[in-house]
């Protein structure tokens, strides 16, 4: 198994610059969750110049809508949702100091550019591992927008939460790099391959 | 009503649907797990093999703890094969199915993911309504199939109205490109449903019906479709997408094709992408 980097939020610019697409990372500490509906509300506040109910500076946002917690457990199944749906919400949060997003799947060109500008990364969690990943979440509490149900903003306390650096702060992209490495059919290159490849 | 008709009570349908919803979301089929295990032998990416092992481990945890294998417990798709000699009693069939979904999702602690209208986006709160398709079939059987369909893979599905001159080659290219484009967003390894022919809507439903086929990898009965399945599967696993879209040979576990006659001018092709949480459960009442 490849070397693993341990990250403990809050994170600095230097932490982010040291990461390269393809790196294996274990996160221990606090994650803030958020997906479509919560992001729309945060954007409304940013547009109006009002304060957010959460402080994103130095933090990581995990794109997840967990299933209900069974009795005695902190959370139900809690794997990543698809990241690109949140593409247009990324840059305004990076401006406020957000350091990383966690989700599954590729990001658009605008997000990849913004990650370079603001020294941030997009991390890939394996999609469909909701039951397994829930075991790395030690506690969970709703910190905003409880009325949104599974789309509420939670604070997760995680231990050794496994992710892979998908898009680094230097333009590296693990999805494009790896699919090119394994493809035997260049004529069927996926639509999302592009940009700078990881070193 | 004819005295010879077999009666099936709505309460029985509701209870069965509720049970199938919970089982589908928490107990991954042995056919899918066997697909992961076979892929471990052919996957050349070390990371890919590790991910396949994690998928097997995830399914074990879900089954043991009755925890959903994925937090996205899907849009509940239901196919009913209803014998024309069956009389449904005690209410309306569609209400009984939706009540089953409501109960299954509540009792099973499954996530509700449905909004009332695509534009106003207010959650229904109980994962209803289900997407219900009823086929009237000969006899007095009542067969229920439940597939909680994940949103991420559904979003990567696509349909194109090809023309006859595109032919088999054009159809094959369209399907393989759709699989490559689905990439990491669709949570590969996939089960790919392909609908060939019919009308615009028929092609889409054929593709959906194809992902209900189980065990996965069961070939189509028609040899034209079965050959198309083999060819797509071989090409899909050379695209390099791999487990979780992080590179490798295991992009699809199975390809299922359903076909139907079509108009002289048309060659409709629909691709319904199913993630590795291929959660079909069925039973007969």
The contacts of residue B189 (CB under 8 Å, 6+ apart) are B35, B36, B39, B52, B243, B250, B251, B252, B253, B276
- pLDDT digit string (tens) for A14-44? 999 999 999 999 999 999 999 999 999 999 9
pLDDT at A195: 59
Number of separate domains in chain A: 1
- Across residues A99-107, what is the average pLDDT? 97
Contact B70 A180 (CB under 8 A): no
pLDDT at A197: 54
Contact A131 B66 (CB under 8 A): no
Helix (H, G, I), strand (E, B) or coil at B217: coil
Domain that holds residue A139: 4-188
User: Is residue B211 exposed (0-12), middle (13-18) or buried (19+ Cβ within 10 Å)?
Assistant: buried
Contact A175 B183 (CB under 8 A): yes
Does A72 contact B at CB distance below 8 Å?
no
The answer to whether position A193 is within a domain reads no
CA distance B230 to B269: 17
Contact A130 B68 (CB under 8 A): yes
pLDDT at A2: 62
Contact B238 A134 (CB under 8 A): no
Q: Indicate the length of chain A as a whole number.
A: 199
- pLDDT digit string (tens) for A125-175? 999 999 999 999 999 999 999 999 999 999 999 999 999 999 999 999 999
The answer to whether position A60 is within a domain reads yes
* From B58, B113, B176, residue closest to A129, measured CB to CB: B58
The answer to whether position A194 is within a domain reads no
Helix (H, G, I), strand (E, B) or coil at A170: coil
Contact A79 B181 (CB under 8 A): no
* Smallest CA–CA distance from A81 into chain B, residue: B152
pLDDT at B249: 98
* Smallest CA–CA distance from B44 into chain A, residue: A182
User: Tens-digit pLDDT profile for chain B (285 aa)?
Assistant: 456 799 999 999 999 999 999 999 999 999 999 999 999 999 999 999 999 999 999 999 999 999 999 999 999 999 999 999 999 999 999 999 999 999 999 999 999 999 999 999 999 999 999 999 999 999 999 999 999 999 999 999 999 999 999 999 999 999 999 999 999 999 999 999 999 999 999 999 999 999 999 999 999 999 999 999 999 999 999 999 999 999 999 999 999 999 999 999 999 999 999 999 999 999 999
pLDDT at A194: 79
Does A160 contact B at CB distance below 8 Å?
no
ipTM for the predicted complex: 0.95
The answer to whether position A197 is within a domain reads no
- pLDDT digit string (tens) for A118-128? 999 999 999 99
Please check the confidence at residue A199 and state whether its pLDDT lies above 50: no
Specify the DSSP element, H or E, that contains A145.
none
Which residues 33-52 of A have a C-beta within 8 angstroms of B? 37
Does A183 contact B at CB distance below 8 Å?
yes
CB distance A168 to A114 below 8 Å: no
Which residues 93-152 of A have a C-beta within 8 angstroms of B? 104-106, 124, 126-132, 134-135, 149-150
Half-sphere exposure (Cβ direction) of B108: Cα atoms closer than 13 Å = 32
Average pLDDT, chain A: 95
CA distance A148 to A37: 7
Count of A-B CB contacts under 8 Å: 176
- pLDDT digit string (tens) for A44-74? 999 999 999 999 999 999 999 999 999 999 9
The answer to whether position A128 is within a domain reads yes
């Amino acid at each position: 198994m490849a070397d693993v980097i341990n990250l403990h939020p809050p994170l600095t610019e230097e932490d982010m610059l040291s990461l390269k697409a393809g790196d294996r990372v274990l996160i221990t500490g606090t994650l803030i969750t958020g997906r479509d509906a919560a992001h729309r509300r945060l954007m409304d506040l940013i547009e109006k110049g009002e304060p957010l109910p959460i402080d994103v500076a130095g933090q990581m946002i995990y794109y997840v809508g967990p299933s209900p917690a069974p009795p005695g457990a902190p959370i139900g199944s809690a794997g990543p949702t698809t990241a690109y749906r949140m593409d247009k919400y990324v840059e305004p949060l990076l401006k406020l100091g957000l350091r990383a997003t966690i989700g599954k799947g590729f990001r658009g060109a605008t997000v990849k550019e913004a990650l370079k500008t603001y020294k941030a990364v997009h991390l890939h969690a394996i999609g469909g591992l909701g039951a397994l990943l829930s075991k790395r979440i030690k506690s969970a509490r709703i910190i905003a927008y409880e009325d949104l149900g599974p789309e509420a903003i939670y604070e997760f306390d995680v231990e050794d939460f496994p992710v892979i650096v998908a898009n680094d702060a230097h333009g590296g992209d693990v999805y494009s790099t790896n699919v090119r490495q394994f493809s035997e059919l260049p004529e069927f290159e996926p639509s999302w391959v592009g940009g700078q490849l990881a070193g | 009503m004819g005295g010879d008709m077999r009666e099936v009570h709505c309460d029985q349908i509701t209870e069965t649907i509720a049970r199938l919803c919970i089982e589908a979301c928490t107990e991954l089929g042995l056919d899918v797990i066997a697909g992961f295990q076979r892929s471990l032998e052919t996957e050349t990416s070390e990371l890919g093999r590790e991910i396949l092992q994690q998928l097997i481990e995830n399914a074990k945890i879900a089954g043991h703890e009755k925890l959903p294998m994925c937090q996205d417990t899907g849009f509940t798709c239901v196919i009913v094969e209803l014998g024309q000699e069956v009389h449904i009693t005690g209410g309306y069939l569609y209400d009984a199915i939706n009540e089953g979904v409501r109960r299954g999702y509540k009792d099973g602690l499954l996530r509700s993911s449905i909004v009332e209208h695509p534009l106003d986006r207010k959650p229904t709160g109980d994962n209803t309504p289900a997407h219900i398709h009823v086929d009237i079939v000969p006899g007095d059987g009542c067969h229920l199939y439940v597939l909680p369909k994940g949103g991420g893979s559904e979003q990567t599905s696509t349909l194109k109205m090809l023309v006859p001159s595109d032919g088999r080659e054009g159809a094959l290219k369209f399907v393989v490109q759709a699989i490559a484009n689905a990439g990491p967003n669709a949570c590969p390894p996939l089960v790919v449903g392909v609908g060939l022919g019919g009308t615009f809507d028929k092609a889409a439903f054929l593709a959906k019906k194809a992902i209900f086929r189980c065990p996965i990898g069961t070939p189509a009965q028609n040899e034209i479709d079965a050959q198309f399945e083999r060819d797509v599967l071989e090409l899909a696993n050379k695209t390099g997408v791999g487990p979780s879209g992080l590179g490798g040979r295991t992009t699809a576990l199975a390809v299922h094709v359903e076909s139907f006659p079509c108009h002289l001018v048309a060659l409709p092709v629909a691709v319904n992408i199913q993630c590795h949480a291929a959660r079909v459960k069925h039973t007969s009442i």
